[in-house]
Structure 1
Amino acid sequence: MDNNERQSSLNNTLCGRLLVEELVRCGVMDFVIAPGSRSTPIVEAIVRHPVATLHVVVDERSAAFFALGYGRRQRTPAVMVTTSGSAIGHALPAIMEADQSDVPMIVISADRPVELRHSGANQTYEQVGIFSGRVRWQLDLPCPTQYTVFEPLLMSIGQAVANSAHGPVHLNMQFRKPLGPVDIDDLAALCLSVDQGVFDRPAMARWLDTQEPFCRWYPSARAALLRGNTDVSEVLALAQRGMLLIGGLDDDEGRAKAHELAMTLGWPVWADITSGLRGTLDGAHLGLLDAALSGSDGLWSETPDVVLRVGGTIVSERVQRWASTASLAMVAVTPRGRRHDPFHGVTHQVATSLTDFGTILSSRQLNTHLSSGWTRLCERLRGHGLDVKASIVEHGGTDSRVALRLFEELPSEVAIWVASSMPIRLLDTFGFEPRVARDLTASRGVSGIDGMFA
């Protein structure tokens, strides 16, 4: 086996091990296997795992109904694993029943690499979307390579388990030959053999050092804030360098609840320009955090230990990247559990309204006394942000100065619609007026420039 072939075997083996390990950590213990060669990395990981239970069912249709029966009886999903080609098609009747009856079920289909699709290659069919309209969630995962980042895979597995609570989900996983396996038992050693910097990333280091899921998913505020080892309020109470991030908010009720939450916590807070709260949070507000981070590499190493994130999309890529390196936890609260986490830093995802979350959280004992070092750093961030803004005002380009001039001189009662790309980024970076609330809106879902004058 040459170096390239060994690397492919390493990549596939690691992908399978990460998949099975995270499924088990998320409470999924039973795996129903319909044998086939392309699923070797997954099956090898199941066989090796000390807790996973393996059920071998030769016929794919029977295997799918076995998984369906398990989910119906236990109200927790079993995982059906198939090889590529027509194998996955035999799961359709069971998927239809799981869909109609809201039965928990996870189907994982191994697949050939994307370059073999539509080429006439043996045992290759368009498996992506084969159950569209019948599954609660689906994802096509690319072939693992030496450049694969582990965090998105682990986050996707937790998301699949969460979405399977009331019906089937489908993961399609591509593998390129040679399929492996590689005889390395220790998972951390296997990770290091593919990525030498894995322990330098807080989220992966935390995952490898514990037996906790990469991210815990909660269907409600009550589930997230129940007393116990995974109580979100207990996580928040650990904060010595806590920070509140407020994303986009569309209505006055959400803004009022976010403002109330900020006052309850007393933590440093940063509000996105589309939150409507940018200038209303007084001394605790790091309004120019994006500007501060853009002007100093040294401040990137000083990160929060616990982040609570509420609201929708955040414009600033810098702020999101910085917050995602929180050393202990990042808690995200969104009404329908929608992810706003492009850097995969969230450790606790709560699907609930700000109203419900704030109501239950207010009855818990929280740590509002943060470390003095963190308080001093936040003061430095505020000061540095003001310095960067002053420099832009004096020496910046025309676009920056025009955007700021308009933002600061338009009456506060005027509603502002901001175009995508640079206009919204410039205002998010430098638009901050103490004690002034701005009604500002932008299309940041997919950032289209169309419809501006519709």
Structure 2
Amino acid sequence: MSLQESESAATNLARATVTALVRYGVKEVVVCPGSRSAPLVYALATAEDAGWLRTHICLDERSAGFYALGLSLSDEDRSAPVSIVMTSGTAVANVHPAVLEATHAGVPLLVLSADRPHELRGTGANQTTEQVGIFGAAPVFAFDVPAGYDPARMDALLRRAVCSACGMFSGVEGVSHLNLCFADPLVPQQQWRPGQKPEVVHISRRSLQATPEGGSLAESPVTGIDWDEDQTVIVAGAGAGPESRMIAALTGWPLLAEPSSLARGSLTHAGDATVTLRDYQQALGLREPSELARQVKQIIQLGRPTLSRPVSRLLAFEQARLVVLSPGGQWADQAGRAAAVLCPVDAAEAARQWSQRHSLSELSGRGEWLERWQVASRPDFPAVSPQHLAARLWAESKQADLNLMIGASSIIRYFDRAADAILVDSDGPLQVFSNRGLAGIDGTLATARGVRRGTNRPTRVVLGDLTFLHDAMSLLPSLGVEDVLALPGLQVIVLNDGGGSIFAGLEHAAAPQALFDRFFRTEQHLDFAAFAQSVGAKYREFSLAEACESADFAPAEGLEIINVALK
């Protein structure tokens, strides 16, 4: 009798699953403890001991989902999804917020949920619910694996799941969900000896742009962009990628880049001129469109611009032609105005070819256009203000070579206006992270811990008080339990404005004060010092004036919480 024949169906299925995970490039697996998922746990533990992969133990599934998201965000290659394993029942449901964020942000994740056998569904069996389709339309791929599934078929199934999560065919990265049914017994009879690590099959996304007959992709013409139109701006939203900077540098067009666009971490230059605009919201007009904004005739959009009303207003301008650059089958176009949707890699190549035929120094109209935007976007904030503090934290994060995780709501909007308001010398771009898929405040701290683990670099988190409270339990040692002492520092800076101050800048500010305070501002009164002590964190607090002028934000070892009172 072979070793496989002597083992239960659950054990053989789990071992085949783990082997296929490794074969298709999965290196990181977040594991949440549970009984029904035990066959996977035993197989993962043995595979880790053999050097096949790395596991991360997280007790709370909701935080674990965002921790996995952070791990995936920290992988610049995105060559394989991060996987997360949990038991059945509410454990699966708790991952849903992270699944939605990953789906809308285009971040590859592979969810492996354990389940009871099919015959126990609907019988009232313990910890058993309908897990098939539990994430709705969010996954790019989903499959229900029955308890009697042939282990020999797991390789093909995992290949399909990983390829789908990485957007190999659709160009759309996201979440794959395998619901694995395990029947008793759940404990292996003998120790697994996995042997040599399987040869890794690397998954890569194919280009979605057709290659012209008899020519190369680089020679493919890109129609839809008027490269000779001087009065053009480039809008880079969340996840825009390097092409936005490349096109701006080649064409000399002004670059309006959000902090999480991957195009704002360092200034972009076209010749001697800086094309990255700093306070571009001011240039566009905060309340009404500026005269300069009204003169835009062409907009090149990359990523998902969602941060500011001035940009949303610009993208809706009927007089400006909107061209969207997207690597896959989903793109942002809220106003439904896109005149063309093109591949960003091809557009960057077309920009390079255009630049070889033109000298920016000879295009006086383009230089004058850029200069007008540079003047209009010069930052002008009070020396004591949240924007000035954001500018300081951005500059010092760049100098100290920190990861910077920015919370949603008002905080990232401070950075959107103030990034690079203080210019510093730095060798490399600032690595900026923010959950902008659905722009929720949940999971920010857990995501930051995943980013820190994945990059093994000190990480600074800047977030509001409600965002902190929403995810405060992710600072407990129960998330990534081995990471508490072994990793570089995690500095959490709370910009405490006493509740949901972002609503004061919206139409809800006109509501009666008592209604506004109770339903929108929702001010909380947490003892931050006591909380810091409870999670073993160092603690400091500053007024806004101290934070802007004299406070020392040099990161410390371990976990540190800094509370800055904005009012």
Please state which band the TM-score falls in when normalised by the shorter chain: 0.3 to 0.5
Q: Which of the pair is proportionally richer in helix?
A: 1
The two structures have a TM-score, normalised by structure 1, of 0.42
The two structures have a TM-score, normalised by structure 2, of 0.35
